[in-house]
Amino acid sequence: MLEVRGLRKVYTSQDRTVEALRDITFSVAAGELVCLVGPSGCGKTTLLKCLAGLLGPTGGEVRVEGRSVNGPPPGMAVVFQEYGRSLFPWMTVAQNVELPLRHKGHGRAERRRLVTGALADVGLAHTPDAYPWQLSGGMQQRVAIARALAYEPHVMLMDEPFAAVDAQTRADLEDLIRTLWDRTGVTTLFVTHDIDEAVYLGERVVVLSSSPTVVQDDLPVDLPRERDQLDTRAMPRFTELRSRVYGEIRAAQRAASRPDGA
């Protein structure tokens, strides 16, 4: 469904070049929920923008549904970290969710059905006429998720979507993502810097190294499909997986900070 092969991204400015991504290879099968975790500054956002077709890679290739990406792929929806800037303040909640559908060519009745359904799915059936800025941060991110859902994507990319909300809201939103994925089975790639979140949410965790970034590890999460904030996080297996990912990331950071490089 989503294949990344030998992806490399070098930023060149007038006086220096920065190798943000060195060599990234991984894939996400149809219907999978994969978490991508890496230390801060490892180029997660750069990688996501390359996957979303918003940024051209320097080398390598991204394929979505078998087609090489060189612009935003039609079957993809992206949920950004900065919900406050990703939602349009001049549109109501319903209009925000509806806008991409208008350009997808859906009729009016179909659009209304999708918007109402998506808002109900994220628990916001009662606020279609509010403006995003009248809602709390967690609710705003729910609107952004509803917008992605209504689009009926084949692949959903999420770029640290819960980095800016409080702990309780974050737990609720994590469970919302699991529930929605369980029901719709949409292929999801969830980028985060939070190791616990990656293990709790994912069916698989792809670990990135520090910059210049490569894939450090790729491990399946063999936890029961039904996740629970208290029970799952208390499982010995959860702790094991968490420790393993944590160790990988620490090793990566140590390697990167050695003066002679890794």
Partner 1 sequence: MSARPAGPRVPRTVVLGATGLALTALAAEVLPRALGVPGDVLPPLSVILGALVAELPTPQFRAALAATVVQWGLGLTIAVVLGVSVGVVLGSVPWLRRLTASTVEFLRPIPSVALVPLAVLVLGTQLRSALLLIVYASFWQVLVQTMYGVADVDPVAEQTARSYGLGRWARVRHVLWPTAQPYVATGVRLAAAVALILAITAELVIGSPGLGREIAAAQSGGATALVYGLVLVTGLLGLVVNVGVRALERRLLRWHVSVRGEVAP
Q: Based on the shown chain and the rule CB under 8 A, indicate whether residue 43 belongs to the binding site for partner 1.
A: no
Q: Name the burial class of residue 27, with classes exposed (0-12), middle (13-18) and buried (19+) by CB atoms within 10 angstroms of its CB.
A: middle
Residue 53 near partner 1 by CB under 8 A: yes
Residue 242 touching partner 1 (CB under 8 A): no
Residue 212 binds partner 1, judged by CB under 8 A: no
The stretch near partner 1 (CB under 8 A) out of 60-68, 73-81, 115-123, 184-192 is 73-81
Classify residue 41 by its DSSP letter.
T
Q: Which of 19, 23, 82, 175 binds partner 1 (CB under 8 A)?
A: 82
Cβ–Cβ under 8 Å, residues 201 and 190:
yes
Exposed, middle or buried by CB within 10 Å (0-12, 13-18, 19+), for 70?
A: exposed
Pick the stretch among 12-20, 25-33, 87-95, 200-208 that binds partner 1 (CB under 8 A).
87-95
Closer of 28 and 69 to partner 1 (Cβ): 69
Q: Is 126 in the site for partner 1 (CB under 8 A)?
A: no
User: How many residues bind partner 1, per CB under 8 A?
Assistant: 29
**Binders in 167-196 for partner 1, by CB under 8 A:** none
Q: Is 59 left (phi over 0), alpha (psi -120 to 50) or beta?
A: beta
96: its two tokens: 């925000």
Q: Does 11 bind partner 1 (CB under 8 A)?
A: no
Binding status of residue 123 toward partner 1 by CB under 8 A: no
Q: Kindly give the residue spans of alpha helices, DSSP state H, lying in 210-257.
A: 231-234, 236-257
Binding region for partner 1 (CB under 8 A) out of 11-19, 21-29, 72-80, 163-171: 72-80
d(CA 46, CA 30): 23
Copy the structure tokens of residue 234: 């208390």
Report the alpha-carbon distance of residue 151 to residue 144 in Å, rounded: 11
Nearest distance, CB of residue 106 and partner 1, angstroms:
13
Q: Which range touches partner 1 (CB under 8 A), out of 1-9, 19-27, 95-103, 209-217? A: 95-103
Structure tokens at 232: 């799952």
Q: Which of 47, 54, 89, 88 is nearest to 69 (CA)?
A: 54
- Least distance between partner 1 and beta carbon 164 (Å): 12
CA–CA separation, 219 and 94 (whole Å): 39
- 88 is a site residue for partner 1 (CB under 8 A): yes
If one asks whether residue 137 binds partner 1 (CB under 8 A), the answer comes out as yes
**Which spans of this chain sit near partner 1 (rule: CB under 8 A)?**
49, 52-54, 72, 74, 76-78, 80, 82, 85-86, 88-91, 99-100, 103-104, 131, 133-137, 139, 151
